[in-house]
């Protein structure tokens, strides 16, 4: 009986970790959406790419910040899923052993119920695992809009800054609205926006953040790339040019003879991106609407998979069934204070679940 109680307690602990790993993924996805929506409302459609849902979702799934948040959650889920199955099999083994030496109808019914429970958990948990595995496969699918978006974003970062000499950092771009006149060069705008976003006035820190972002081909997250934003550089992006060796080249003029510029982009990119025939400039021109038209119905299978709630709801149902059973065992064997503590934990988990669904 003691061994049985220990295993039941272990299942509760492991199952809780399993549920928390799911909650983390759902919570992060919801947070990215909420962050973007709040910025759009508060700033009246002015949103830095740094705050956009698509930018944060990509960084989260592809671990750009090297914090392994998504990987840690899926790793925890996979291991706790296996752990729960092993522990349930141990419970079944103990019941079979008990039935062999002391057959009772009660134990037989309990055995059948746990077998059904294990089958349900195995099947539903496997479906969630398949979704996580599908996300891993999608990371290599260059047809998905999220990957296309980031490829275009990286190419644009490269086009606007090849190196210290070949860049448009000292150009003055007109804003989207005539009500606000821009007189500042791009480099200055980046510095001011970095100061706002990171809440710092330290010039050394600002310069460090800017230099690091430029090196990573990631500095354009500090401006607005949304075509409806009042601070979007509409005139520039609609008739875009680059500067190489003090000469100005318009993107539209490079499309028919892209070999030279493609080679320069390929050398300047700090990351490998899969583009058909390495024709970066044509790829950019074809897909740039994914970057600038934020309000269009941006669809990505990554989001569809994370938003899929049915399997997660079923897992939560199984979890709360187990909690009810555990509480019943607990109530019949321990004091009321411990029982109330467990009930409190259940309520908190239920609240978190309702917040993210």
Q: Rounded distance, CA 108 to CA 182, Å?
A: 78
SS (H, E, C) 47-116: CCHHHCHHHHHHHHHCCCCCCCHHHHHHHHHHHHHHHHHHHHHHHHHHHHHHHHHCCCHHHHHHHHHHHH
- pLDDT (0 to 100) of residue 110: 80
How many alpha carbons lie under 13 Å from residue 55 in its C-beta half-sphere?
22
- pLDDT (0 to 100) of residue 339: 59
- Token duo for residue 137: 């496969």
pLDDT at 150 over 60: yes
Per the CB < 8 A criterion, the answer to whether 306 and 24 are in contact is no
Domain positions in the chain: 2-141+302-356, 145-296
Q: What percent of the chain has pLDDT over 70?
A: 88
CA dihedral (248, 251, 256, 259) positive or negative: positive
Per the CB < 8 A criterion, the answer to whether 169 and 185 are in contact is yes
Q: Rounded distance, CA 37 to CA 344, Å?
A: 32
Q: Cβ-count burial of 354 within 10 angstroms (0-12 exposed, 13-18 middle, 19+ buried)?
A: exposed
Band the pLDDT of 6: cuts 50, 70, 90. confident
- pLDDT (0 to 100) of residue 233: 94
Higher pLDDT, 350 or 11: 11
Determine phi and psi for 241, rounding to 5 degrees. -135, 165
Q: Where are the alpha helices (DSSP H) in 180-227?
A: 186-197, 203-215
Instruction: Spell out a b/e string for 32-61, using b for 16 or more CB atoms within 10 Å of the CB, else e.
Output: beebbeebbeeeebbbbbbbbbbbbbbbbb
- pLDDT (0 to 100) of residue 336: 57
Band the pLDDT of 335: cuts 50, 70, 90. low
- Token duo for residue 101: 């030496």
Band the pLDDT of 10: cuts 50, 70, 90. confident
Q: Rounded distance, CA 100 to CA 95, Å?
A: 8
In Å, how far are 28, 76, 146, 256 from 348, measured between CA atoms? 18, 20, 34, 60
| pLDDT digit string, tens, across residues 160-210 | 999 999 999 999 999 887 677 889 999 999 999 999 999 999 999 999 999
Average pLDDT in the chain: 87
Q: Rounded distance, CA 199 to CA 194, Å?
A: 8
Per the CB < 8 A criterion, the answer to whether 343 and 327 are in contact is yes
Band the pLDDT of 346: cuts 50, 70, 90. low
């Amino acid at each position: 009986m003691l061994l049985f109680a220990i295993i039941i307690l272990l299942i509760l602990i492991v199952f809780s970790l399993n549920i928390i790993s799911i909650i983390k993924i759902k919570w992060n996805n919801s947070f990215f959406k909420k962050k973007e929506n709040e910025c759009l409302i508060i700033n009246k459609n002015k949103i830095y790419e740094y705050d956009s849902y698509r930018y944060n979702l990509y960084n989260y799934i592809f671990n750009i910040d090297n914090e392994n948040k998504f990987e840690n959650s899926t790793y925890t889920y996979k291991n706790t899923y296996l752990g729960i199955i092993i522990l349930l099999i141990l419970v079944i083994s103990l019941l079979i052993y008990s039935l062999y030496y002391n057959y009772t109808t009660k134990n037989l019914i309990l055995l059948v119920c746990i077998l059904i429970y294990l089958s349900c958990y195995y099947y539903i948990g496997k479906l969630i695992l398949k979704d996580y595995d599908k996300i891993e496969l999608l990371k290599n699918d260059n047809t998905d809009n999220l990957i296309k978006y980031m490829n275009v974003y990286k190419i644009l970062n490269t086009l606007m800054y090849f190196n210290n000499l070949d860049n448009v950092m000292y150009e003055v771009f007109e804003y989207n609205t005539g009500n606000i006149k821009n007189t500042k060069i791009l480099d200055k705008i980046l510095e001011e926006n970095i100061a706002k976003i990171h809440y710092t006035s330290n010039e050394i820190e600002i310069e460090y953040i800017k230099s690091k972002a430029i090196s990573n081909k990631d500095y354009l997250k500090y401006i607005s790339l949304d075509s409806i934003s009042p601070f979007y550089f509409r005139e520039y992006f609609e008739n875009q040019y680059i500067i190489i060796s003090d000469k100005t080249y318009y993107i539209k003029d490079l499309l028919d003879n892209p070999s030279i510029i493609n080679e320069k982009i390929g050398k300047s990119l700090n990351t490998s991106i899969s583009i058909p025939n390495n024709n970066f400039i044509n790829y950019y021109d074809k897909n740039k609407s994914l970057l600038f038209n934020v309000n269009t119905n941006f669809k990505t299978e990554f989001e569809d998979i994370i938003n899929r709630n049915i399997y997660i709801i079923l897992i939560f149902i199984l979890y709360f069934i187990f909690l009810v059973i555990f509480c019943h065992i607990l109530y019949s064997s321990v004091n009321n204070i411990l029982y109330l503590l467990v009930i409190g934990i259940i309520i908190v988990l239920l609240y978190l679940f309702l917040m993210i669904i």
